[in-house]
Amino acid sequence: MPKRLMKGCEALAQAAILAGCRYYFGSPVAQQTELSAYLSKHLPLVGGTYVQAADEISAINMVYGAAAAGAKVMTSGSSTGMSLKQEGISGIAASELPCVIVNTMCGGSVAGASCPAQADYWQATRGGTHGDYRNIVFAPCSVQEMTDMTIAGFNYADRFRTPVLILADSIVSQMMEPVELPKLPLDYDIDSKKWALGLPGTNKHNKNVCASTFTVQDELEEHNWHLYQKYQVIAKHFTEEDKDLAIEEYMCDDAEIVLVGYGIIARLLKTVVEKCRKRGVKAGLARPKVLWPFPTQAFKKLAQNTEKFMVIEMSCGQLVEDVKMAVNGAKPVYFFGRTGGAVPSDFEIFNEVSKLVCLD
Amino acid sequence: MSSTVERVILAGFSGHGIFFMGNTLAEAGMRAGKNVSLVPSYSSKPKGGLINCALLISEKEIASPMITVPDTVIAMNRTSVNKFNQKIKGGGMLMYNSSLIDRQEFRDDIRLVEIPSTEIAAELGEPKTANMVMAGAYAKFSKLVTVEEIENSIRFLLKDENKDVIELNIESVKKGYDYVEEKKYMFGRYVHSVFRV
Amino acid sequence: MSMNFQPDQLQTMIVEAVDAVAPTSGIVGVAPVSCGAFIYDGFDFDFCQSLPGCAPAVASGIKRVRPKALVFTYQNGMDLAAAGISEVIHAANRGENISVIYADNGSCGLDCTEESRIKICELLSSLNNPVYITRVVATDKDNKAAIKSIKNAFKLQQENRGFSFVEILLVSSDDESKETKALMEELPSKVFVDKYGVEKA
């Protein structure tokens, strides 16, 4: 199949359609306007439904309903919208409903600014709101990954009955790159989920209930442990079966310093690694592609061979905590970050790295 | 760095067709079998805000799509020249729309190419196609895209437009290319190896 | 004031109305938060819980996926008139093909402690898209009018007409206090919108 030049968020939208998503609820927001625009044009062509919800809370609850009814469904938002959606996402996670949620991060709190940032790492990987739950979080770094991870996201969402978050930033969402769209069978049967609500027939005496509220303490505890066990299974899956999907390692075999970053930052880091290697500094790159479950084992292994880690982020330091936890004090973990919409340049990062290397 | 990567910044006001120019060149690069990436950056003003695109065309896989030091800057207005002039790599190229930008003390370690693109486009009937004139002029210098590929990408990108619009755009590209070929515009001391002489 | 919230009675009404319209392709109810969240125990068809006030949005999602199913929300004052007032207004404005059953006991706000009476029917009837908006009184002795209204709403939904809204004022039949009378005057029982004339038929 020939490659097509596409914007990140448009490729994501097309991938969603290919994955069988026929329902989108959301509204065009800066940094991913094209996603909504694309779906509003293309979903009706394949018999899908696009609803521009009045607000984000409305949108996530429509997703809740559509997912409960058995559809493959998606919504998207930029940071602010994601915060509004959190309560709904907690409900979706607790009710064990599959859906894909796209977050194109922007800088700052509250309204923030339409600029690239990675300040939502904690929100994304720690569940996001009250309740003991987690979401699978993918962090694409290229337009091709926007496509692949969306398709994978829909599959994992259905497989584990859990929301999947695509944590992109405005650069990946807005940039154009050639992308290869896979050909997938379009035979998703909306009645295939036996737990779904409103299945054809009179469904009397065979009712499905989609609930996450329990008044009896024992029931609630049982439910929470059930969720926890599911998350353990997911974590195991990403450390054992889908290892390659969880992390990308670049020139790490003999690296003395391993640079760590996700999303667009990892692309910059690749350039930095090349620069370092040219100047005789043995640098490598570890890029977590799945942020939750975090590839802890992979980092443990890296810690055995390398001397130090340096985490680079477009935030004041969020991913760095997960890396520190994974490395568990075995090797020092340094941090360099820019925030508020500033993207560090490869020169800037290189300077920081050389400072570290010269210290010894 | 290597001679197989071109880092180009396209800049101007929104309304100048900066993004479309970038899109066309990226599409042309992709059609030529190269790796490309295009990162737009714009202000929130619908018209008159500054917009720029970072375009990479490369033989190798592209690591970072961001540009710190551009090989080439294509500037459509004065503000863009001010913004990017100092960032251009020594021996790089500044190609600017001389219909809107006066010639003045630019750096002397880069190649300057003036194209009166708005005038050329106006002669063809529509000053809005100044961006395509620039794209054509750029094709003359670029190792990695050709006029034919730009032409093909315009036909693809504008496939929903009417025929006149497509032809006008293609005509503008050719005019830009011919202009550079006739004038052999070259100021500055250095000619960097990225470009054909 | 003795305004009894009578969930079992409401269930009876809904069940009777559902049986009367005899849906053939799935029935889904959407429950509110708080005590009403467990209303599904009393029904033998699919039910979905929802977040505070978001039942109309959840129902919209379900209905879009299952256009043939009968989808309704059951909401109380705290849910519909406080937390989710925007959801019901926007669902109504979109003309979403769902039925909203609003059990009003004359209060709203968290824990139903606020005595401000927001006239939802009047508010919604200013919109263009709802096809049926009505307010009825139901007591523990007489709930015929309420059942009929719910039936009308369900029928309209089955005919793909659009958004229908039934507000049921729950009053105890032996309550003859001044406050209750004042409330019933303030919230009169009437049909606000009836685009397809189902009330007379």
A33 is written with which tokens?
């306007």
Write down the ipTM of this complex.
0.93
- Cα torsion angle, A235, A240, A241, A247, sign: positive
Alpha helices in B32-92 (DSSP H): 78-84
> Residue C107: which pLDDT band, with cuts at 50, 70 and 90?
low
pLDDT at residue B73 greater than cutoff 70: yes
* Nearest by Cα to B143 from B191, B71, B194: B194
> Residue B191: which pLDDT band, with cuts at 50, 70 and 90?
very low
Beta bridge pairs of residue C23:
none
Asked if A3 has any chain B CB less than 8 Å from its own CB, the reply is yes
CATH no. of C9-194: 3.40.50.970
* Tens of each residue's pLDDT in chain A, 360 residues: 689 999 999 999 999 999 999 999 998 888 889 999 999 999 999 999 999 999 999 999 999 999 999 999 999 998 888 999 999 999 999 999 999 999 998 876 655 566 788 989 999 999 888 888 999 999 999 999 999 999 999 999 999 999 999 999 889 999 999 999 998 776 788 888 889 999 887 666 578 888 888 878 888 899 999 999 999 999 999 999 888 889 999 999 999 999 999 999 999 999 999 999 999 999 999 999 999 999 999 999 999 999 999 999 999 999 999 999 999 999 999 999 998 888 899 999 999 999 988 755
Which tens digits make up the pLDDT trace of A221-273? 999 999 999 999 999 999 998 888 899 999 999 999 999 999 999 999 999 99
Quick check: C44 and C27 in contact, CB under 8 A?
A: no
Specify the pLDDT at position A123: 93
Q: Write the CB contacts of A336 (distance below 8 Å, at least 6 apart in sequence).
A: A310, A311, A312, A313, A344, A349, A352
In 3-state terms chain C splits into helix, strand, coil percentages (rounded to 5) of 40, 20, 35
Q: Is the peptide bond before A178 cis (omega within 30 degrees of 0)?
A: no
Of B27, B62, B68, the CB nearest to A347: B68
> Residue C194: which pLDDT band, with cuts at 50, 70 and 90?
very high
∠ CA B161-B145-B196, nearest 5°, is 145
| Percent of chain C whose predicted confidence (pLDDT) is above 70 | 91
Cα–Cα distance between A327 and A321 in angstroms, integer?
A: 10
pLDDT at residue B64 greater than cutoff 80: yes
Quick check: A138 and A167 in contact, CB under 8 A?
A: yes
Cα–Cα distance between B51 and C172 in angstroms, integer?
A: 67
Number of residue pairs across A and B with CB atoms under 8 Å? 57
Residue type, B6: E
Q: What are phi and psi of A178, to 5 degrees?
A: -65, 140
Asked if C66 has any chain A CB less than 8 Å from its own CB, the reply is yes
Which tens digits make up the pLDDT trace of C22-64? 888 889 999 988 777 777 888 888 999 999 899 999 999 999 9
A248-354: what fold?
Answer: Rossmann fold (3.40.50)
Asked if A65 has any chain C CB less than 8 Å from its own CB, the reply is yes
Using the CB atoms, write b or e for C117-145: b if 16+ within 10 Å. ebbbbebbbebeebbbbbbbbbbeeebee
Q: To the nearest whole angstrom, how far is the Cα of A64 from the nearest Cα of chain C?
A: 6
* Nearest by Cα to C168 from C189, C186, C199: C189
Q: What are phi and psi of A176, to 5 degrees?
A: -110, 135
Q: Where are the domains of chain A?
A: 4-179, 248-354
Q: What is the mean pLDDT of chain B?
A: 86
| Percent of chain B whose predicted confidence (pLDDT) is above 90 | 58
Question: End-to-end distance of chain A based on CA atoms, in angstroms?
Answer: 50
Specify the pLDDT at position A132: 87
Specify the pLDDT at position C111: 54
Cα–Cα distance between B160 and B176 in angstroms, integer?
A: 24
Cα–Cα distance between B144 and C116 in angstroms, integer?
A: 71
Asked if B116 has any chain A CB less than 8 Å from its own CB, the reply is no
Which tens digits make up the pLDDT trace of A120-159? 999 999 988 888 899 999 999 999 999 999 999 999 999 9
Q: Looking at A277-291, B76-90, C129-143, C171-185, which range is the least confident one?
A: C171-185
The average pLDDT across C98-125 equals 78
Using the CB atoms, write b or e for A193-206: b if 16+ within 10 Å. beebbbbeeebeee
Q: What are phi and psi of C132, to 5 degrees?
A: -150, 115
Q: Looking at A191-200, B101-110, C143-152, C159-168, which range is the least confident one?
A: B101-110
H-helix or E-strand spanning residue A11: helix A8-18
Q: Under the phi-then-psi rule, with left for phi > 0, alpha for psi from -120 to 50, and beta for the rest, what region is A62? A: alpha
The average pLDDT across C93-98 equals 95
Using the CB atoms, write b or e for B56-77: b if 16+ within 10 Å. bbbeeebbbbbbbebbbbbbbb
Specify the pLDDT at position A203: 60
CB contact under 8 A, A91 and C37: no
Q: Under the phi-then-psi rule, with left for phi > 0, alpha for psi from -120 to 50, and beta for the rest, what region is C106? A: left
Specify the pLDDT at position C1: 33
Cα–Cα distance between A262 and A149 in angstroms, integer?
A: 14
* Architecture of the domain delimited by A4-179: 3-Layer(aba) Sandwich (3.40)
Cα–Cα distance between A198 and B83 in angstroms, integer?
A: 59
Asked if C25 has any chain A CB less than 8 Å from its own CB, the reply is yes
Alpha helices in chain B (DSSP H): 18-31, 78-84, 117-124, 130-141, 147-157, 163-183
Q: To the nearest whole angstrom, how far is the Cα of A271 from the nearest Cα of chain B?
A: 6
**A4-179 and A248-354: same fold?**
yes
Cα–Cα distance between A292 and A295 in angstroms, integer?
A: 8
Residue of A nearest to B54 (CA): A175
Q: What is the mean pLDDT of chain C?
A: 87
Of C46, C71, C86, the CB nearest to A207: C46
Quick check: C18 and C70 in contact, CB under 8 A?
A: yes
Window 7-66 of B: residues touching A by CB (8 A cutoff) are 22-23, 26-27, 30, 35-40, 44, 62-66
CB contact under 8 A, C61 and A202: no
Quick check: A27 and A85 in contact, CB under 8 A?
A: no
Of B27, B30, B63, the CB nearest to A270: B63
Window 82-121 of C: residues touching A by CB (8 A cutoff) are 86-87, 90, 94
Specify the pLDDT at position B197: 36
Specify the pLDDT at position A281: 92
∠ CA C44-C46-C49, nearest 5°, is 115
Residue of B nearest to A349 (CA): B68
CB contact under 8 A, B35 and A178: yes
**C132-139 and A290-292 strand pairing:** unpaired
C53 is written with which tokens?
């006030």
Specify the pLDDT at position B196: 38
**A49-52 and A23-26 strand pairing:** parallel
Which tens digits make up the pLDDT trace of B21-32? 999 999 999 999
pLDDT at residue B186 greater than cutoff 60: no
